[in-house]
A and B are shown apart, each in its own frame.
Chain A
Amino acid sequence: MPTKKTIQLSHGGGGKEMDQLIHDVFFKAFDNPILTAQEDAAKLNMCGHIAFTTDSFTVSPLFFAGGDIGKLAIAGTVNDLAMMAAQPEYLSCSFIIEEGFPLADLTTIVNSMATELRKSGARIVCGDTKVVPKGCADGLFINTSGVGRILIPDISARNLQVSDAIIVSRDIGRHGAAILMARDGLSLESELYSDCDTLWPIIEQLLAANIKMHAMRDATRGGLSAVLNEWAKASQVGINVEEASIPICDEVKGLCELFGFEPFDLANEGTFVMALPMDIAQAAIEVMQRYGHCEHAAIIGQVTASHPGKVVLQTPWGSSRYLDLPQGELLPRIC
């Protein structure tokens, strides 16, 4: 009886099967001389200030509209480097695979990682594979770490200046909403897809245009609310945002209405927030829109000296309220 090839415990045993998996799947996709040298550690050539980051990825489902766990694992780590104005160069990659995981799915995910790597030019130079017995993991977990060369220093959450403009690179909440739809099997007719993407090409364009930003952060878990609150606290400034200026697509708005969520709290995986002097904000928007495929990039607010540590959302009808950090797990409202 023909059966689908799946990951066996032996694929993590350090023997022939593991060697075959590494060569046929990982080396094939991530091919580069540092990796395939197969030394105990990768030999790197770097100088100057280096940014170093790590992240683990556990998403359910593994495949979603607009991406998969592999794309997420590359984009996530590359973006963490990009947000420090660091050119992503070398990544490590560790897989924890559940016994019985389809080999075809693993290959698809690894190829997706390779495609995403090409957007920034970063390379996977070392890695690790573990296979755990069935039931000990939810399909597949990936950890990626990355290093990159910092091109301009002083970008920091503590570096916001009063009167800085706050820019968001595109419409918010897509990733969280797409995962929610995929996870709950919502049978809504929707073309909603995740924003999951590598941000380095946009950042590279901004740096090339000599845009000097004070802070950047990708609005991942916790969404826009989390980034702005973290910044307000870290820099001890207030942030005012105009609700009407924040780009949100109709599908995300609709889903939030249905579940009682706020789009500001939903995760993004290819959307970033930037603080920079107001007098260069429009120039930054133009660069982002023209070269970065950020058609909806917008100035959404301004840093202020009042209410330090707090984010205030101005409604379109003249009232205002705090935009607080999201709390606890996101659960749908009851009625």
Chain B
Amino acid sequence: MMTLNDFYQGFRDPQTIGHLATLIAQQAAKTNQQINIMEVCGGHTHTIMKYGLLQLLPTNIRFIHGPGCPVCVMPKERIDHAATLASQADTILVTLGDMIRVPGSMGSLAQFRSRGCDIRPIYDPLDTLVIAQDNPHKTVIFFAIGFETSAPMTAALLAQAEALHIDNLLFHINHVLVPPAIDAVMSDSRAQVNAFIGPAHVSVISGSKIYQSTVDKYQTPVVVSGFEPVDVMESILRIVTQKVAGKAELDNQYSRSVSYEGNLAAQQLVDKYFMVRDSFRWRGLGPIAKSALTLRPEYHHRDAERIYAKILPTAEIDDHKACMCGDILRGLANPKECKVFGRGCSPQTPLGSCMVSSEGACNAYYRYGEVINAN
């Protein structure tokens, strides 16, 4: 029987990592160009920082952190939506992971919880079903967040709610899409990215095909990568090899889980319940057309955003002026360039969600630092 460990055991082998570092250095020595790799996903940022991979790489390889953390890209007004919904009488707000720590303009969901609101973080969206069943006289609202990866789980929850006629379960949908965000980053004339590590979890669902347009349009290599140190190092090697050869191709390092077409059943499930929104305002990136999902009209009876439209704040709320999260999310700044990094902004007192989210670039820099010559 397979255990959880089987999924990563071979992917942290010191000899393999060392060997890959040598090969990367050999390849990188063949070119004078600076290779600026954007790891779109916050999970990769954390792998690079947590495992100290930067220290193993030559100096002409640089990482630029991208907008692929679902918590980081959520604008304040959407968090205020969640807080407003949670403040309604006889209401339970359910959401994923560290969403509850992110500051909105009125405070974080954790602060609202301490004021008496019933706010529950969950690991599996389907747990919401049990909460709704156990509380038939309350309205349970699932504040859905995440990229293409988590949209199928929200769709599965909605499918169950419909099938079981659990009428007290509503949804506030904040699912966003990766390719439009990449376009937004690259359309900035200041963009310095010339290669991408593609988020693997997204591609498990959507397939590697969703990055083909990025490769074609911007002539940048995209390597879909797993999250273990060996995965990331191998992906870097593949990127550097492409750059040295003057190529720009779509490559799939995470072939153990990702196919070109992706998980078609999950895609169908998402298509059944969701459609693409005209526009969605991303934190730091502003409004991006066709970059998020919303419920299809036949499920409007479950749409908390519509049902509570009259009480939900509509004004757009920008970040604190001193916070550079916007530039960091666009790949134009490194967390340590922010004047408030580690001073006015820390995980305990975050100004921006990049510092609070466990997938945020600022959090990764704060937590793991950059330890050079530690001995």
Interfacial residues, chain A to chain B (CB-CB below 8 A): 184, 188, 240, 244, 250, 253-255, 257-260, 304, 306-307, 312, 314-322, 324, 327-329, 331-335
Count residues of chain B with CB under 8 A from any CB of chain A: 48
Contact A319 B201 (CB under 8 A): no
Mark out the residues of chain B between 165 and 216 whose CB falls within 8 Å of any chain A CB in the assembled complex.
Answer: 201
Q: Is there an interface contact between A334 and B359, defined as CB atoms closer than 8 Å?
A: yes
Complex CA–CA separation, A306 to B55 (angstroms): 19
Check if B375 sits within 8 Å of A240, measured CB to CB: yes
**Residues A315 and B5 in contact, CB atoms below 8 Å apart:** no
**B150: contacting residue among A240, A321, A332, A334, CB under 8 A:** A334
Binding site secondary structure of chain A: loop
Q: Is B56's CB under 8 angstroms from A319's CB?
A: yes
Fill in one digit per residue for B54-80: 1 if any A CB lies within 8 Å of its CB, else 0: 111000000000000011000000000
Given contacts A321-B371, A328-B347, contact A335 B201 (CB under 8 A): yes
Does B18 count as interface, using CB distance less than 8 angstroms? yes
A324 to B369: give the CA distance in the assembly, Å: 9
The number of A-B residue pairs with CB atoms under 8 Å apart is 110
Instruction: Please give the distance in Å from B282's CB to the nearest CB on chain A.
Output: 16
Contact A317 B123 (CB under 8 A): no
B3 touches A254 (CB 8 A): yes
**Minimal beta-carbon separation of B225 from chain A (angstroms):** 15
Segment touching A, from B45-53, B235-243, B261-269, B272-280: B45-53
Q: Residue on B with the closest CB to A189?
A: B1
**Chain A residue at minimal CB-CB distance from B95:** A334
Interface centre among B5, B12, B147, B371 (most CB of A within 10 A): B371
- Which segment, of B24-32, B97-105, B320-328, faces chain A? B97-105
CA distance A178 to B366 in the complex (A): 29
State whether B374 touches A317 (Cβ < 8 A): no
B56 nearest CB neighbor, chain A only: A319
Give the chain B neighbours of A312 by CB distance below 8 A: 371, 374
Contact A319 B8 (CB under 8 A): no
A314-B374, A318-B56, A335-B150 as given contacts; A250 in contact with B369, CB under 8 Å? no
Interface CB pairs A-B, < 8 A, 29: A184-B123, A250-B4, A250-B5, A306-B375, A307-B374, A315-B51, A316-B12, A317-B17, A317-B18, A317-B21, A317-B51, A320-B52, A320-B374, A321-B52, A321-B368, A328-B101, A328-B347, A331-B97, A331-B98, A331-B100, A332-B121, A332-B123, A333-B97, A334-B98, A334-B99, A334-B145, A335-B43, A335-B146, A335-B147
B50's nearest neighbour on chain A, judged by CB, is A321
With known contacts A259-B123, A321-B52, A324-B367, A334–B4 Cβ distance under 8 A: no
Q: Which of B5, B18, B52 has the most CB of A within 10 A?
A: B52
A334 engages B50 (CB within 8 Å): no
**Chain A nearest CB, measured from B358 CB (Å):** 5
> Given A253-B5, A317-B17, A328-B101, A335 and B149 touching (CB < 8 A)?
yes
Q: Are A322 and B43 in contact (CB under 8 A)?
A: no
Alpha-carbon separation in the docked complex, A282 to B50 (Å): 30
